[in-house]
Structure 1
Amino acid sequence: MDLTVVAYVIYLLVSVALTIWVARTLSQNGRIFLADVLHGNEKLADAVNHLLVVGFYLVNLGFVALYLSQDEEIADARGVFEALSTKIGVVLLVLGAMHLGNVYVLNKIRRRGIMEREQQPPVPPQDWVAPAVGA
């Protein structure tokens, strides 16, 4: 078997496994965060979480597929390791960037929700009081 094909198979197995692991981790741990961002609406948090995971899979697996091709033929075991380290390293960087992007956007949404909650008075006004004379 050609070593280039071996490198392709290893790259696909590792990249897909990493993508699935990161997506599951984000999904499990992000659910609580989303519930807080969405003011405790569990059904909406689950729906948004699922949509984010699907988008995460589409973008990352699409990138993995596009980045599969190898320009040079791999001649020896050293070439396999060098090609894999480059390809898997780039996939890890893309996964990390996607994760940071998700966290950044969700944190912005969460901060906006906190600011909206702080602008509402804790108790509704009870009555109007005229200002004192000379005040």
Structure 2
Amino acid sequence: MDLTVVAYVVYLVVSIGLTIWVARTLSRNGRIFLADVLHGNEKLADAVNHLLVVGFYLVNLGFVALYLSGDEDIATTREVFEALSTKLGVVLLVLGGMHLGNVYVLNKIRRRGVMDREQQPPVPPQGWAAPAARA
């Protein structure tokens, strides 16, 4: 078998496995943030979480597919490892960037929810007072 094909297969298996692992981790832990932001609305939190995961898969798997082809021919085992390290390193950086992007967005959404809750008065109104007469 051609070593270039071996490198492609290893690249695809590792990249897709990493993408699935990161997406599941984000989904499992991001749901907690979404449930908090959405005031305990579990159904809506699950729906938003699912949409975020689908978007994550589309972007990352699209990048993995586009980055598959290489210009160089791979003739030795050393070149297989060099090509894989380069390709997987870039994929890991993209996954890390997407992860940080997701965490940033979830944190922004959560902060906005916390600020909305803090804008309500700490004590409900006690009654109504008539305006004072002017002199």
**TM-score, with normalisation over the residues of structure 2?**
0.93
Alpha-carbon deviation of 1:121? Answer: 1.1
Root-mean-square deviation (CA), in Å?
1.5
Matches within 5 A, 1:10-49: 10-49=10-49
Matches within 5 A, 1:61-100: 61-100=61-100
Between the aligned partners of 1:113 and 1:72, the Cα distance in structure 2 is 50
Contiguous gaps of at least 5 residues in structure 1: none
**TM-score, with normalisation over the residues of structure 1?**
0.93
Give the fraction of aligned pairs with identical amino acids, expressed as a percent.
Answer: 88
Between the aligned partners of 1:129 and 1:66, the Cα distance in structure 2 is 68
Contiguous gaps of at least 5 residues in structure 2: none
State the partner residue of 1:54.
Answer: 54
Between the aligned partners of 2:31 and 2:15, the Cα distance in structure 1 is 24
